[in-house]
Amino acid sequence: MKEAGFPLGILLLFWVSYFTDFSLVLLIKGGALSGTDTYQSLVNKTFGFPGYLLLSVLQFLYPFIVDPENVFIGRHFIVVLSTVTFTLPLSLYRNIAKLGKISFISTVLTTLILGIVITRVISLGPHIPKTEDAWVFAKPNAIQAVGVMSFAFICHHNCFLVYGSLEEPTVAKWSRIIHMSIFISVFISVLFATCGYWTFTGFTQGDLFENYCRTDDLVTFGRFCYGVTVILTYPLECFVTREVFATVFFGGTLSSMCHIIITVAIITVAMLVSLLTDCLGIVLELSGVLCAAPLIFIIPSACYLKLSEEPRTHSDKIMSCVMLPVGAVVMVFGFVMAITNPQDCTHGQEMFYCSPDNFSFTNTSDSHIQLTTQLSILNSSIFQ
């Protein structure tokens, strides 16, 4: 919302979710047309080894870098401890269906975090000054915002894995599941985006939790829940990365020992990257435009256009013809803008309104909050 402008950001969020929904169904249709049951085999049959190699790189990189832990106290120790204790054991599962209950827990925790964000837009939002351009319709960094949204919605890299885990999988059944999943996802995303941006407007950070004060115990609990969701979600991403590696180098079959060795190697390298990187915004943007955009917009459309024998006026072909160039634009211009105009990163720094002299969440009356907030705004104006 900060990068695109609030009204345009909401529209883009619905637009990206619709394209995501369409392309997820398109992938399974492409698999049915080509007689394949994996994303890699679909692209291999459609575009040969060069396309297969490109897809493998994208499928490997996207889930590999989706591990941006965010812990304020003893960050490095917590990252290592959580990786060894939780992430690694969960990632050793060989059957993706066994991660279903884990994903459900992650969804419940996401709902709790959303409740905390909604609570704080009511109690905290009125006391933070709004920036001058907070409510303009559009801002010049809209393409970067699309990259972040694409990052948030993409699940194409494990699309066939989930489809294959269904009982009696069919295109119609898959379509119903996708429609419901995307609807719930975009509903939650709109609430998060609206409440988060409404609270902080132009002060919004790449990681929303960076905006809240460390003394806010409720938000600290939210940070804990967020850390747990990352821990519970990452095994799904590791599953895809490991499968790509196994398919490219071992023909898709791994012995028990190779399975353990490759999993440990992937988790270890990802953990080292996480220890070295604490700026979430640029990670979301680059991963979104370089990996998510081609996986969502370009490759599914290109495969379907080449495989389908439907007439050019068919709705699926028309949408594919729209998605393909849009994805190319997002990928190219989004990358250039992310490099030339990266988001600010203030990891671990308290925002100005969290100063003990300006604001407090502990045993503070409404009148004191109002007084200290006025002082905060005055101090901010003086320094500006």
Q: Are residues 361 and 249 in the same domain?
A: no
pLDDT of residue 215: 87
- Within 10 angstroms of residue 356's Cβ, the number of other Cβ atoms is 11
Q: Which of 103-107, 212-216, 294-298, 374-378 has the lowest mean pLDDT?
A: 374-378
Is the predicted pLDDT of residue 313 greater than 70, yes or no? Answer: yes
> Is residue 309 in some structural domain?
yes
Structure tokens at 355: 């100063």
Identify whether the C-beta of residue 274 lies closer than 8 Å to the C-beta of residue 69.
yes
pLDDT score recorded for residue 352? 81
Regarding whether 236 and 384 lie in a shared domain, the answer is: no
Tens-place pLDDT, residues 322-373: 999 999 999 998 888 888 877 666 666 778 888 766 554 433 334 334 433 4
Residue-level pLDDT at 151: 84
Q: Is the pLDDT of residue 201 over 70?
A: yes
Q: Which amino acid is at 308?
A: S
- Cβ–Cβ < 8 Å for 155, 27: no
Q: Distance between CA atoms of 235 and 59, rounded to whole angstroms?
A: 15
Q: Are residues 96 and 205 in the same domain?
A: yes
pLDDT tens digits, one per residue of 180-190: 999 999 999 99
The whole domain housing 372 covers 352-384
Query: Would you give the end-to-end CA distance of the chain in angstroms?
Result: 24
User: To 5 degrees, how large is the angle CA 292–CA 294–CA 295?
Assistant: 60
Do 86 and 142 lie in one domain? The reply is yes
Task: Give per-residue pLDDT as tens, 108-155.
Answer: 898 999 999 999 999 998 889 888 888 999 998 898 889 889 888 888
The rounded distance, in Å, linking the Cα atoms of 110 and 108 is 5
Q: CA dihedral defined by 288, 65, 178, 8, rounded to 10 degrees?
A: -30
Say whether pLDDT at 321 is over 50.
Answer: yes
| Claim to verify: residue 277 and residue 368 sit in the same structural domain | no
Q: How many CB atoms lie within 10 A of CB 194?
A: 18
The chain-wide mean pLDDT, for the chain, equals 82
Please give the pLDDT value at position 380: 41
Structural domains counted in the chain: 2
